[in-house]
Chain A
Amino acid sequence: MKSLSRREFIKATAASTAAAAIGVSLIPGMEKSVFAGTTTWHKSVCRYCGVGCGVMVGVKDKKIVAVKGDKECPTNFGLLCVKAFYLNRINYAKTRLLHPLVRKNGKLQKASWDEAMDLVAKKFKKTIDENGPDSVAFYGSGQAYTEETYIANKLFKGCFGTNNVEGNPRLCMASAVGGYLTTFGGDEPGGSYTDIDKCDCFVLIGSNTAEAHPVVFERIAKRKAKNPNVKIIIIDPRKTPTNKIADLHLKCIPGYDLPILHAMARLLIKEGYADEDFIKNHVAFSDGKNPMNYEQFKQFIEEFTPENAAKTCGVTPSEIVEAAKLFGQAKTAMSMWTMGINQRIAGVWANNLIHNLHLLTGKIGVPGSDSFSLTGQPNACGGVREGGGLCHLLPGHRSVKKPAHREAVAKIWGISPDKIQPKPGLHTMAMFDGLAKGNVKCIWICTTNPAQSLPNLNKYLKGMEEQFMVVAEAYHPTMTTELADVVLPVAMWSEKEGVYGCTERRSQHLAKCVDPPGEAKWDGEALMMLARRLGYGDKFPFKGPEDTWNEYLTLTKGTDMDLTGMPYSRLKKVRGLQWPCPSEDHPGTEKRFVKGDPLFKGEGKINFYKKPNGRAIVFARPPKGPEEPTDAQYPFALTTGRILEHWHTGTMTMTVPELNRAVPKAYVEIHPDDAKRLGIANKDMVEIFSRRGKAQMEARVIDRPRKGTLFVPWHWREALINLVTTDAIDPGSKEPEYKVCAANLKKA
């Protein structure tokens, strides 16, 4: 190994000398030169999307110098996307915050940790004393490590006694959670990435997999390349890069895909593709309020003929027929979806209808088949959904509403069960509305940037400015830190250890590779500093993440997401483990609800044991459209999304010049026919406006969105599209409808 790296160094020298001879400088960009010297490699997980790719972090002279794909990780087998390739840069951005900031005379000024924390503690104490615990709140992140969310949850729900604990997965995965809970009784997919390698028909709906989950996309593409008979159906208003592998694209009108799913279900039953045995033994039916029987369900979906559905959805009847046929004929099928389904006022229902297709055809619980939600953030599943970092949850898939759950948690937390409120706290949008109205007076925000990422921002920015806001963040300025009263510099990826849980129920350990810069501290430590100042120090005896994780594990024991078999000592050796994993000799669970799942009891091929009678539910949901349909004044459906090179609000990716080079600024995709009609040429500056706000950006005239649809990647603060988006929420999941609102545009 040593001689190889030395040789790489000599090669780099040889190449750069040759380049110098023709007046070219190679060395600064030559990633290969980092192999020189003594680079040590640490096992970790990518900081970006929810796929959970294994990475190896190269450290030399106490600095992260390189990141490469972990060939042994079964998630990505060494493959990475370009964001991950430049991960080694994000720790050393110029915008890293190195010391606490406290607002004095209207300006954020350098302060000591003690000064900052004393102020935070004083504010929190006074607010709680004067206005009760529900006047404070915590807003966390699917990017924080599990241990950090756990500490915050314990402090706020268990010690302060408020359930005002939320996280950005509310904006991203809440509808998927609602879908899994209502249909199957338990959150998170039953299948795994390994199903991709055996799947014959993929339905990608509301997902631009190629850009948002590139490594999963390559796995699907590979499956199809090796097996040309594999079919891929895409249901999306845009022709995205994902389309390259599609056999069939149903280019529906944004917000109107529910009838397509019902029409597919109807055809699957009519054409004899339904698995009647499976339905008889493992499925129940419901209209959402009352149970119904199979016949009643058939009557309900009878009106969703391909013709009827096609009318509202903007696709042709034959496309729906073809989609149902491909799905029905395939031996195995997987559905995958992301924000196009979740970020909708009918998000939970759309999730239910996707599950319906699998339950009606028995295409679930067998290798190659699953109803498989793709997660947006690296630890939305692990930290927030499993860790209970939402206002209605407690750790270990528990609910604040259930007395037994509160008791179990209170026992481990060493508090009285009465301390945990039985009523859910404020969900994300209500929490920021509370800030705007002054009901929430103090908030701690961790690892996220709501001042850029919330929808309909005009309504919420003022509240964030006015109330006392503590932001624990690795970067400054962000739109949120700029509004804060106290900004705490925190350790980021690779500067602390912890666990991420990804899409397929896999928990993976992230090593601490280097020390945090400046005065930055672990988020958990910052929260414990507050706890100690408010007299709860005894509840937080944790020396670091490992102690925290161990306490959390005791809370998962015996639950459906049992992590007991995953102490750090084991996680450090393996490439993650999939729960349930009840003991250290348990290999983890690739497929839930079937043989091999330690919780699977009894006979039969599948048992949805999270439901009282072991049956999953097929729902007859009304075909709800978007909150704000287009009209004469706002004739365009605006939809927002992601691109390969940037991530979310860009606090990380926009510090990497190479990624900015590829996509330096915001743009809106507009169909050539629409552009022509409005006299807009490629690269013209345009203004997009809705009933709520406006944003300016460059036009990209391209045949990608369907006519009448505008698509905007939402990463840039300079072109703040979230001033335009709607904050209407799904009544069940409380997730906002980022994906559809009515808008218009004009030349700027």
Chain B
Amino acid sequence: MPISGVVILIEPKKSQKIFNALKKTEGVTTYGLHKDIYIVAVFEAKTTKELETMSGHISKEIDGVLGVYPTYLHFEDETEEA
């Protein structure tokens, strides 16, 4: 099961809405708002492909998200638990 650590760049004025939207998105855990404009989050998905879809969905569909930047990827368990 791949896990990815990401930095989400946002429009600060929309941060609460973005938090709420992220909370509703399955597989996303947030780790706080930092320096007004970054939300640190972890994505979990069944496959790396799904991870990419998630990332795309978040940057396109959630208003106020300026970008999603993965900084860490872990996928050794992919076969084990998929």
Contacts and interface: CB of A to CB of B under 8 A. Distances in A.
B29 interface: yes
A1 interface: no
B5 A18 contact: yes
B13 to A, nearest CB: 19
A82 interface: no
Interface string B68-82: 011110100100010
Given A3-B81, A21-B7, A15 B34 contact: no
A11 B38 contact: no
Contacts of B32: 26
Nearest to B81: A3
B72 A18 contact: yes
Interface stretch (B15-23, B40-48, B54-62): B40-48
A658 to B, nearest CB: 15
Nearest to A14: B5
Which applies to chain A's interface (DSSP): helix, strand, loop or mixed?
helix
Interface in A19-35: 19-24, 26, 30
A299 interface: no
Contacts of A7: 1, 3, 44, 77
Query: Which of B3, B71, B81 is most buried by chain A, counting CB atoms within 10 A of its CB?
Result: B71
Contact of A17 (B35, B38, B71): B71
A3 B77 CA distance: 10
Contacts of B71: 17-18, 20-21
A24 B40 contact: yes
Given A3-B81, A18-B71, A19-B40, A13 B35 contact: no
A10 interface: yes
Contact of B44 (A3, A11, A21, A24): A11
A22 B31 contact: no
Contacts of A17: 5, 71-72
Nearest to A6: B77
A15 B81 contact: no
A18 B41 contact: yes
A14 B74 contact: yes
B81 A18 contact: no
A22 B5 contact: no
Contact of B31 (A10, A19, A23): A19
Contacts of B35: 22-24
A14 B4 contact: yes
Contacts of B40: 15, 18-19, 22, 24, 26
A24 B34 contact: yes
A15 B7 contact: no
B10 interface: no
A17 B38 CA distance: 14
A30 B44 CA distance: 18
B65 interface: no
B5 A15 contact: yes
A14 B3 contact: yes
Which applies to chain B's interface (DSSP): helix, strand, loop or mixed?
strand
B3 A10 contact: yes
Interface string A300-334: 00000000000000000000000000000000000
A22 B41 CA distance: 12
A90 to B, nearest CB: 26
A683 to B, nearest CB: 28
Contact of A22 (B29, B38, B70, B74): B38
Contacts of B34: 19, 22, 24
A99 B3 CA distance: 47
Contacts of B7: 18-19, 21-22
Contacts of B77: 3, 7
A7 B72 CA distance: 14
Contacts of A20: 71
Query: Which of A14, A19, A21, A30 is most buried by chain B, counting CB atoms within 10 A of its CB?
Result: A14
A14 to B, nearest CB: 3
A231 B4 CA distance: 50
Contact of B42 (A11, A21, A22, A24): A11
A679 to B, nearest CB: 39
Contacts of A14: 3-5, 42, 72, 74
A26 B5 CA distance: 12
Contacts of A19: 7, 31, 34, 40
Contacts of B70: 18
A306 to B, nearest CB: 48
Contacts of B69: 21
Nearest to B44: A11
Contact of B3 (A11, A16, A23): A11
B1 A18 contact: no
Query: Which of A13, A18, A22, A26 is most buried by chain B, counting CB atoms within 10 A of its CB?
Result: A18
A24 B42 CA distance: 15
A61 to B, nearest CB: 24
B29 A11 contact: yes
Interface string A136-156: 000000000000000000000
B22 to A, nearest CB: 13
A18 B40 CA distance: 6
A287 B74 CA distance: 77
A13 B29 CA distance: 13
Contacts of A22: 7, 34-35, 38, 40
A18 B3 contact: no
Nearest to A12: B42
Contact of B5 (A3, A13, A23, A24): A13
A553 to B, nearest CB: 48
B73 to A, nearest CB: 8
Contact of A13 (B1, B74, B81): B74
Contacts of A13: 5, 72, 74
Contacts of B81: 3
Contacts of A21: 7, 69, 71
A645 to B, nearest CB: 21
Contacts of B29: 11, 15
A13 B69 CA distance: 16
Given A24-B35, A24-B40, A18 B74 contact: no
A78 B69 CA distance: 36
Contacts of B44: 7, 11
A17 B7 CA distance: 10
Nearest to A18: B5
Contact of B6 (A3, A18, A24, A30): A18
A612 to B, nearest CB: 62
A40 to B, nearest CB: 24
A17 B31 CA distance: 12
A13 B6 CA distance: 11
A23 B74 CA distance: 21
A23 B40 CA distance: 11
Contacts of B5: 13-18
A14 B51 CA distance: 14
Contact of A15 (B1, B38, B42): B42
Interface in A130-174: none
6 contacts: A7-B77, A14-B42, A17-B72, A22-B34, A24-B35, A24-B40
Given A13-B74, A16-B5, A30-B31, 7 more contacts: A7-B1, A14-B4, A14-B42, A18-B7, A18-B72, A19-B40, A26-B31
Interface of A: 3, 7, 10-11, 13-24, 26, 30
User: Which 9 A-B residue pairs are closest in the complex by CB-CB distance?
Assistant: A14-B5, A18-B5, A17-B72, A21-B71, A15-B31, A18-B71, A14-B72, A24-B34, A19-B40
